A and B are shown apart, each in its own frame.
Chain A
């Protein structure tokens, strides 16, 4: 399988896993060079962390903000953010 085929297959997989349905409109055929960039699932671990998302099961009690602060500390990274609050009081 070519690098471009792997890349497109990856996109199709994450779209399907997320529960969405999309069809392609193909304008032209093209390949991608192995000399730069990387398949998202083959990033070196450090890169993978810096370009990563955790689908976290928020524990009860702390606020979403507090949970993000803990994650930041655990990974020793400067920035982290969540996708929509899930507050203790609902």
Chain B
């Protein structure tokens, strides 16, 4: 049966903000689905609260709602749009759970919305761990012995029965939320509590732990005619006990005989049929006993997943795209494989390379977190690398991570391990951490046996022997030295994935010398093609990866090419918003007649979808790998230039070397980039322009730093240069703090790794502006000097809270018009002086109507997609065109830049923080960015937009009940206004003693005075919150030092899911929001509607 004609409008639910366990892979799947369904002529209604995504771009759906993802809002949208069908399987766990919720609320029936793809029955059987196990047992598949519990006592009982160690697995979770392995009664108690809290239906499965077994995944697709195929098999290098999202994983499976593999395939088919996923993709996870081969089923995800995104990139088979087609009636054999064009999608891809996925963690940004990997996801992103062999792909994946590593050791960082003895290495490797694979290599290099390493890590000996081959080759090459190596030596080294920097390190040479010696020996990179069929058929999609073989498959360029560098793995401070910019550039430049070339290594993204650009190179973003691509393309035709300013800091770092190697860098020149990044140059520039800056200077030693601090006066802000997301930035209040901060910068952490402090990488010491309002501006300047102010964003939180972590609004709700004018003037002046061609982001701090510039970044910023969605101006597209010589005027005539019109709406961006995953990390906001994602609230007034943004971020503001305030002294005056408004709204007020005294003094009645935490008399704050009697917590940190009391309060709020606000500004905004919510219902309007009656923006 082909396309269904009985449905017209299809509703898609996105996965909301980027959170740990749910990253931009769902932007990729959702975007694909939107495209396909519209190509098929359906009307697509999309709801997603995340403005940074590509799918929420107005051009991808007929009606795009950037609204909170909750049942009431979705109900209103369904009421308004009347979709015929809901496709629940492409929006991650969020989309799936919401679909179920809508069904249970009877909404789908009321408006007769059909669920396509997977039905409720199927979803529940798969997601309810107990029902799933029963179902699997029914069809004769094995599962670990287990029981189910709804409270802690029950849990303990079951635990006893099964016997420790046991694992706790909550129902309806993602990223292993709330899972954990308990070895004792005590651990069990704690983990059971956490697990019950994590499960939306507070149900946990208690299961015999089979940690140490081999873990596998199969990506399976089924159509309504019951044709089923496996798209990809994945083997986890880290065995059971480390979440697949935390494991280094490899495709295809490496150590299964065909006999075993086919049994697993049969099992996966039986599973998807029994669960009853009618059409689409599912992910089935298995564990295999390494000695007996016994196979058990771990779980099945009846939807596209992180792994299916990986599988799509790993094989070239677009699972989400096909899933969407199957959902609307097509059979697999009715869908074409658009890579081969001549064969149908009803086949099983086969590959002739090895794919390695490596997770990216952010422990260094979360002090207090414990970098041990387990059954819960903690990673914030991942990279994928393709090589002809496992060794090659593994080493490529490591250098894709951008953690300062050149490959699997053989670089300066490996010295950290040299100090350890063999036994210490083995002990360290026994605990799964981000460093384990490096410890394994070091151990093998120190002649620890494969058996011993296998014993403590559970890593399969085959993988270990592969790593040993890297080790042995390294020893051989080290013995030779750069002069002696022959062509076949070079070839073997590169085929094992050694990077030029690794070889340079080994031989005490330089990357440049190694590169020229190697090319002189005739060993140059070759590019192969990802084609789903191991070359059995001709491939039409230029999706390439580098390797060192005989034959290269790059076709000549047909048009002048533009190379766009992506942003690498998702991490805190650099995520999907930069992918948005790169993708938009690709679209705009393709339309403008260029051949677009994308280079990136992040498998979750839209940018690495093979049809986003004309050519895709799945490569690490290092100088060597990018230079290889550019040189090869220059041989293939005209390369107009390379775009480094849309992928965040990652490509920007490469600008210099690329330019030096003769690759034309498009847009703002690397020299100007330096002028902005380099403190002295930038200071001079601002002075020239008469733009005020916070007083400050650079320092490379603690003494210098202290001197500076004393000159400019405390508090000061200490931070490294050349970093993103306020990495390692601290507000310090006295000399000793300064010294500590400098010491940290110099030595510890990954910053030390990246070179520590030096004349080239000094620390910046700035006067910290207290109680200043922060403002962000995104602007575009063309080579003719015309300048477009994309948007002026006023932050809710005061300066000192990282721009990425604070909420902000367009247009500025409180800034006086003349301040805004000043800000625009300054921005234009800076753009001109820096000779910006393309995007410029400037951050200001405003205090007493005086505007200080904090920093200027001549590149795409985190806020570009937000501004574009708020205003309807496609900034990234315009910037890309400008970088290739178009003027704003031309683009206006062309229609890409629409004429300004006053908008009647306000858009608020709110950050989403990962604290629920890291219970021991203080939630207080500061200059170091820690949010993983963002949401947008949009409505006709600031208050309502703010309220929506809070709801979207999972902080739904209460409409009644008790507000608990605990304010720092300096916040008390402002806080009083907030308190009074809550009081007027009929909330009862609870407060800590000091705050209470102050409020009463100002005649705000306080109903409950709360004792200090741990104080004997009366209920203390934590008890009060735990008792569920508080509906909103407003707690601002008291000055500096150990903020223990506040910390307990905020943690309690998080644990018990009570909305918690940590700045007075936000509290006031919240009060405003609640006031308005009391007065009227929030609008549900699509971006298309908002943009139609006016882009909210400022004139050219």
The judgment on whether A and B are partners is no
Mark A residues whose CB is within 8 Å of B. Answer: none
Mark B residues whose CB is within 8 Å of A. Answer: none
